[in-house]
Amino acid sequence: MAKVITGAFPEKKQAKQDKPTPGYVLHISLIFSDPLIWRRVHVPGSISLATLHQVIQLSMGWSDTHVHQFLVGKISYEPTSGNSSTIRESSRYDERNYTLQDLEGGMRFMFAYLYDAGDIWEHEIRLEEVIVSSEELKKPILLSGEQACPPETLSDIHEYQTILEDQSGSGHKKISELTGSSNFDPDFFDLAAARLRLEGTLK
């Protein structure tokens, strides 16, 4: 006959509540730009790389007309659906399926954003701060930035800076033609306008 053990047994512990999703402060800069073209954003860890792509486009001032990809850690993440003229048909590492929180380890090692497959505008993304709060961030916030976004019809940052260094006046004329504005100022970043773009698109 089995021995019956009596006594007080500890109650089964309840599972710990999930920790709040962290927010990340990211510094996004256009590699080889001088003066440095950069934006600083505060984003929820719950957003996908696909949403971060939108944040970068709106914050920098790009028009999302070229292909793009992220390099996080040692892996390339890309869009795998949408307009076939701007989407790489890849079945692996769909950017929609990975959140920043999922990739925090890789973000600390290497984090880059490449825009335009042929003439690449390469961005370095630096994780500046991890913010954990009881009140989770609901949507991305553009905090600051400097320098105007180059016309993306140019081949790369080197061509852009060569044009800006042209003292003959032809460089200014070309930039005006590409931007459609005679008042383009490479040193001016309209933070208020960029915030409106971001807030109006990502709700």
Calpha distance 117→155 (Å, rounded):
11
124 phi/psi in degrees, rounded to 5 = -90, 130
Which tops the pLDDT comparison, 18 or 139? 139
Pick the range with the lowest mean pLDDT from 9-13, 48-52, 106-110, 135-139.
9-13
Which pLDDT belongs to residue 2?
44
User: What's the pLDDT band for 18 if we cut at 50, 70, 90?
Assistant: low
Q: Rounded to the nearest 10 degrees, what angle do helices 191-201 and 49-60 cross at?
A: 150
pLDDT at 168 over 90: no
Mean pLDDT in residue range 82-110: 78
Which pLDDT belongs to residue 3?
47
pLDDT at 56 over 80: yes
pLDDT at 76 over 60: yes
pTM, full prediction: 0.85
CATH number of the 23-148+187-201 domain: 3.10.290.30
pLDDT at 81 over 90: no
